[in-house]
Chains A and B, each alone.
Chain A
Amino acid sequence: MTDLTKLTLAEARDGLVAKKFSATELTQAFIKAIDAANPHLNAYVLTTPEHALAQAKTSDERLAKGEARPLEGLPIGNKDLFCTYGIRTTACSRILDDFKPRYEATVGQNLWDAGAVMLGKLNNDEFAMGSSNETSAFGPVVNPWRRTRGGKVDNTKLVPGGSSGGSSAAVSANLCLGATATDTGGSIRQPAALTGTVGIKPTYGRCSRWGIVAFASSLDQAGPIAKTVRDSAIMLRHMAGYDPKDSTCVDMPVPNYEAEVARGVKGLRVGVPKEYRVDGMSAEVDALWQKGIAWLKDAGATIHDISLPHTKYALPAYYIVAPAECSSNLARYDGVRYGLRVPGKDLIDTYEATREAGFGKEVKRRVLIGTYVLSAGYYDAYYLKAQKVRTLIKRDFDNAWSDVDVVLTPTTPSPAFGFGEKAGDPIAMYLEDIFTVTVNMAGLPGISVPAGLSGEGTPMGLQLIGKPFDEGTLFRAAQVIENAAGRFPVPERWWA
């Protein structure tokens, strides 16, 4: 029998409906693969095989009766930022300890209602704060990809990107058919780029944030990481949708994104922003960008130089807005209502001891920055200023949309890096998000699609940015790139 874990989500769906294999067989194949790989990759922080097999059994019954739902019996991984009823949810922070939510995140519920099977909870940077998955309380995730130097495989462990590093590693290592993820500054697209997978951050408001552990509420959005553009379109359709429990979630019908992927890009106007050609961008990333331009052109799109003049201010503005909102959101971790408590001599001392022990270094750093910029006398100079800059960033895009339908950029300035290589300097790590963060600041949708390999044999991605709620166009253009570039499966399953 073929290795079921190598199937795409769409192929697995069709195989289940055609009764080539059962949901139970499919789920068992993934459980076995996870057992073998997880000690090496650390992608899952919790596996839920019994839960998965129970869901698969229900799916098999429905499939037998011809009552299959759209994602019936398809095993996926769930980022540990999504609350799961009765199943430990930690945001990969010590402060949540053994927290077992008494509710299910809306995005997760939508997937389970569509028939998906949950294999377990995926690793991420603590509270989604990081670009390498090295800040997780459960330890880093290892990228399934390795560098090749001088024709030889280099065993240096590479990061899978972050914060959704468990999601990206699990998808690229075939430890699930697809995964949930979240993106506040690039946390879906950057890890997708570093692992040869597809990741889309939809428009702010497209997916409900209810039940997702909050980091920066005006920026956080959920989306999928998947093996193909089509798979990501299928998943997003069943994650998105109106939810009265999130007042920022839009009440708009969710299109059938899968129908978009085959529509091509004939006549599509593609913008290439000159401000994304930044210092320190590697020559191979630039070459990849030129290839992407050529592919879209060959498929009938027209290419236009555009200017997004406030691009360089997006990252510094982000590092005011995101910490400010995180310091406010993380105030809830007080050791009283849930999670860790370290007893102190009085209530204040208990708060301080709990938060000292519960938060990791990067989280503390951001909470403190946020507290500072929101403290008396500084609100106007920092937070208000940054929110005004955000308006200017959004205006840049609003102006561009009169000339173009979609914007093409690299996803990251460089391919996957080694453990510890950027951990010493917070700003060096923040620069990982330089191409992705503008999209969050403007609230726009963005997709990363794998487009080629670096000189070291590691994957690199291209990003497409769209108009608000125009995810359909992103899927069309991303499919053209995928068709031209091919797919990028991990060459060697060295952990098996």
Chain B
Amino acid sequence: MQVDEATVRRIARLARIRITDEEAKALEGELSGILAWVEQLDEVNTDNVPPMTRVADMKLKKRADEVTDGEKADDIIANAPMTEDHYFVVPKVVE
């Protein structure tokens, strides 16, 4: 799969990572190289093969539907770059 510069920019936008023109150019080649390399998987016949979802057979545990955690607002905001009372502060989203 050949990735062009426009695709690199679109992916970077989806990933919310700003990239420079220089990086976009370099990534074009690197991503194309990696994607071409993984294309060897096309040689493998996977008809009727289920995707792997777990490594060992086990049932997901259930637990009682009750509150086991909470009242930790101070802990939750302790590392935030910007807070006000118990809120995270972000730039204005709606004008």
Interface residues of A (CB under 8 A from B): 98-103, 203-205, 218, 244, 247-248, 250-251, 310, 312-313, 316-317, 319-320, 327, 331, 334-341, 343-353, 355-356, 359, 364-365, 367-369, 371-372, 375, 382, 384-392, 394, 426-427, 442-444, 468-469
Contacts and interface: CB of A to CB of B under 8 A. Distances in A.
A390 B51 contact: yes
B48 to A, nearest CB: 9
Interface of B: 3, 7-8, 11-12, 14-19, 23, 27, 30-31, 33-35, 37-41, 43-44, 46, 49-56, 58, 60-61, 63, 72, 75-82, 88, 90-93
B91 A391 contact: no
Given A371-B14, A372-B11, A388-B49, A394 B55 contact: yes
Given A310-B44, A372-B11, A443 B88 contact: no
- Give me the 5 closest cross-chain CB pairs, A-B, nearest first: A443-B55, A387-B51, A338-B79, A341-B81, A102-B75
A352 B61 contact: no
Nearest to B17: A355
Contacts of B19: 356, 364
A440 to B, nearest CB: 9
A427 B37 contact: yes
Given A368-B12, A387-B52, A347 B90 contact: yes
B80 A336 contact: yes
A43 B14 CA distance: 35
B18 A352 contact: yes
A379 to B, nearest CB: 11
Interface centre among B38, B41, B50, B82 (most CB of A within 10 A): B38
A387 B53 CA distance: 8
Given A382-B38, A387-B51, A244 B63 contact: yes
Contact of B78 (A100, A310, A355, A469): A100
Contacts of B72: 102
Contacts of A336: 80-81, 88, 90
A468 B56 CA distance: 7
Given A339-B81, A372-B31, A426-B34, A205 B8 contact: no
Given A352-B18, A391-B51, A468-B56, A313 B40 contact: yes
B17 A250 contact: no
Contacts of B31: 365, 368-369, 372
Contacts of A386: 38, 41
A337 B88 contact: yes
B89 to A, nearest CB: 9
B61 A251 contact: yes
Given A336-B90, A337-B88, A351 B51 contact: no
Contacts of A369: 31, 34-35
A426 B30 contact: yes
A427 B34 contact: yes
A368 B56 contact: no
